[in-house]
Amino acid sequence: MRRRSFFRAAASVVPATGLYPLVARQARAQVPAAPPSSVPHVVGAGEDRYGHPHAVGLDPLLFKVATRDTGGGLFVVEHPHLLAGGPPLHLHLNQEEWFYVMEGEVAFQVGDQRLHLHAGESVLAPRRVPHTFSSVAATPSRMLIAFCPAGKMEQFFRDIEDPKAPVGEAEFWRRYEIELLGPSPFRKS
């Protein structure tokens, strides 16, 4: 092998060796935590996958697709009574979060963008991008929210039902691979 072609080949391999850990991590992240359910399930209108709503502050959430149903690939909730205010500004380290407005009007902040979505519209908040939302309609809004992969989101919503949960503490959110960044810009003081 000539010296020049040897150096060219070596130079092309060096950057690739740095990619291996990243690619390996991504591949492991794509492997489901448990096999998905092979049994189809139907969750009726206004119903929860487990038969009872989950309280998030004063708002109910209905689990529509449980983490175990997809082997960790997806978790879907319905927010049937979204009020003004919304969650604090946050980002997910490992999940995309997709929002579909079913009724009403919802304001979003995704990164630096402010959006107003109406029934039938959706927006994706990519992982590691700060986001929050709030109903801005005269009556409560209704949304579907999907997390992909599911990660620890189902457990997060279960744990914040506990009135003693330290939901204002960043360390609490980090347990679920979420970074708490500050108050919602839509919340009125």
DSSP 7-73: HHHHHHHHHHHHHHHHHHHHHHHHS-SSPPP-S-----TT--TTSS-EEETTEEEEEEE-GGGGTTS
CB 60, CB 77: distance < 8 Å = no
Tokens, residue 115: 């959006």
Mean pLDDT on 151-155: 96
Surface-to-core class of residue 21, CB atoms within 10 Å of its CB (0-12 exposed, 13-18 middle, 19+ buried): exposed
* Residue with more model confidence, 30 or 39: 39
What pLDDT, on a 0 to 100 scale, did the predictor assign at position 28? Answer: 44
Whether 54 contacts 66, CB under 8 Å: no
Q: How far apart are CA 132 and CA 183, in angstroms?
A: 9
Q: Band of the pLDDT at 74, cuts 50, 70, 90?
A: very high
Q: Could you tell me if residue 165 is left (phi over 0), alpha (psi between -120 and 50 degrees) or otherwise beta?
A: beta
Question: Lowest-confidence range among 13-27, 111-125, 132-146?
Answer: 13-27
**Torsion of Cα atoms, 81 then 161 then 174 then 82, to 10°:** 10
CA distances from 2 to 9, 11, 13, 62 (A): 11, 14, 17, 66
How far is C-alpha 45 from the chain's CA centre?
22
Range in 31-35, 129-133, 134-138, 145-149 the model is least confident about: 31-35
pLDDT of 26 above 90: no
Q: Is the pLDDT of residue 188 over 90?
A: no
Lowest mean pLDDT among 21-25, 70-74, 83-87, 154-158: 21-25
The answer to whether 133 and 86 are in contact (CB under 8 A) is: yes
Supply the pLDDT for residue 173.
Answer: 96
Give residue 34's identity as a one-letter amino acid code.
Answer: A
DSSP category for residue 88? P
